[in-house]
Structure 1
Amino acid sequence: MNIVLFGPPGAGKGTQAKELSKQYDIPHISTGDILRANVRDGTELGMKAKEYMDKGELVPDEVLIGLIKNRINESDCEVGYLLDGYPRTIPQADALASILGEINKPLDAVLNIDVSDDELVARLGGRRTCSCGESYHMKFNPPEKEDVCNACGSELYQRDDDKENVIRQRLTTYNEKTKPLINYYENLGILVNIDGTGTVDGVFADICKVMDQYK
């Protein structure tokens, strides 16, 4: 099954994708994880991407398209894939359709996790990160000791793109550039809306009901 998991920043795409990857034994392809790894490692690509991420803007297409094409062509995607964080614009969707057509791996469905802007600000603003890679949420998954990582004892920090002013800008960018993809995929007849305001387990169960149709 070839699936895109779609939704605004903070909708829970990454969390759901990781569990869905285990459940259905298909690779989780996350542009966010790839980009953050490059930022953490200080690569040229990472530094270029960070300039845009810190301002709440989308990373340019030329940075992302090559990564996605190479990843989907890897052998573990022969049985299917779960794409998270791409596409984000109509041109990216067109480019993805072209790539998938070349390798005969068209999308089965685009699952849109729907969450309100106010809920998203509350979710993202509570996130804290550690330099060791561990992440927390001050409400939903707090560390044992305030602002200290359970795993290594280092001080936690708030990423620049998790601050409220940047979150609001990210959502504005999403609504202007990415939300039109809802109509794009709806017109193709492959969009499925998922209510993302419930519990993590509840949203997961709703997504599984849809994905079971494509097994």
Structure 2
Amino acid sequence: MLNIVLFGPPGAGKGTQSEKLIEKYNLVHLSTGDLFRVHLGQGTELGQLARKYMDEGRLVPDEVVIGMVDEKIQSSTGVNGFIFDGFPRTVAQAEALDKLLIDKAESITCMVALDVPHEVLKKRIQERGKTSGRVDDQDDAKINTRINVYMEETLPVAEYYKKQGKLSQVNGVGEIEGIFEKISQVVDSHS
């Protein structure tokens, strides 16, 4: 199976590129944000557990998030693989994901990290904010905070996969198709 972690700061183009990767390689999109919405909306056992932590103002523990990921993987039969979007966000989550996949005789194929300069990210997010309606895409302070949180908390995950020889950096600036072609070359070289 082809299991790709698509990585990059807010505004790097992950959403745009993941759609293209899903279509080309027939992958299942695995977004923890989507999983949370489904589980909370359906009131599943995992959703109720997550809600308990959220209502207390606490982060949902990795075990609960991994439980949601595991359930999604198990319910997706006959697929070519997964594209992990927005997950893992921490080294602990990456380690837990590796363990989960190893238990299924699988592994992460590669991590594709979109590299985009800070100023370009801000401009993209602001442009997206004009059409998305997302308040956090229109506020400079919130944009800076999101980018800084990524740099401080999430960037170490790239180092984790780099040590495994699975990290590939791709310049995320340019035409969408050109960036996609570079990503496809990386994926093809790992599969």
Q: 1:110 to 1:50 in 2, by over 3 A?
A: farther
How far, CA to CA, are the matches of 2:177 and 2:75 in structure 1?
30
- Output the amino acid matched with 2:26: D
User: 3-state SS of the aligned residue for 1:73?
Assistant: helix
Deviation at 1:169, TM superposition (A): 1.1
User: 2:175 maps to which residue?
Assistant: 199
Structure 2: any 5+ residue segments left out of the alignment?
Answer: none
- The count of corresponding residues between Structure 1 and Structure 2 is 186
Does residue 169 of the first structure (1) align with residue 152 of the second (2)? no
Cα 1:6–1:51 change in 2 (3 A) is farther
- TM-score computed with the length of structure 1 as normaliser: 0.73
Contact 2:91 2:160 in 1 (8 A): yes
Contact 2:12 2:172 in 1 (8 A): yes
Shift of 1:77: 6.2
Give distance in 2, aligned partners of 1:200 and 1:4. Answer: 19
- Contact 1:39/1:47 (CA < 8 Å) preserved in 2? no
Q: Which runs of 5+ in 1 are unaligned?
A: 53-57, 129-137, 143-155
Distance 1:21 1:46, change over 3 A: farther
Partners of 1:159 and 1:41 in 2: how far apart?
26
**Residues 1:125 and 2:126 are matched in the alignment:** yes
Shift of 1:59: 6.3
Aligned to 1:100: 101
Q: Which residue is 1:61 aligned to?
A: 62
CA contact (8 A) 2:3 2:110 kept: yes
Q: Percent identity?
A: 38
CA distance in 2, matches of 1:50, 1:196: 37
Residue 34 of structure 2 aligns with which residue? Answer: 33
Work out whether residues 87 and 93 of structure 1, in 8 Å CA contact, stay in contact via their aligned partners in 2: yes
Structure 1 stretch displaced more, 69-78 or 93-102: 69-78
CA distance in 1 between counterparts of 2:118 and 2:60 reads: 21
Q: Superposition RMSD on alpha carbons, in Å? A: 3.0
What letter matches 1:200 in structure 2?
I
How far off its partner does 1:105 sit?
Answer: 1.2
Q: Residues 132-164 of structure 1, C-alpha deviation per residue, up to 9 Å, x if partnerless?
A: xxxxxx4xxx6xxxxxxxxxxxxx733336522
Q: CA deviation at 1:171?
A: 1.4
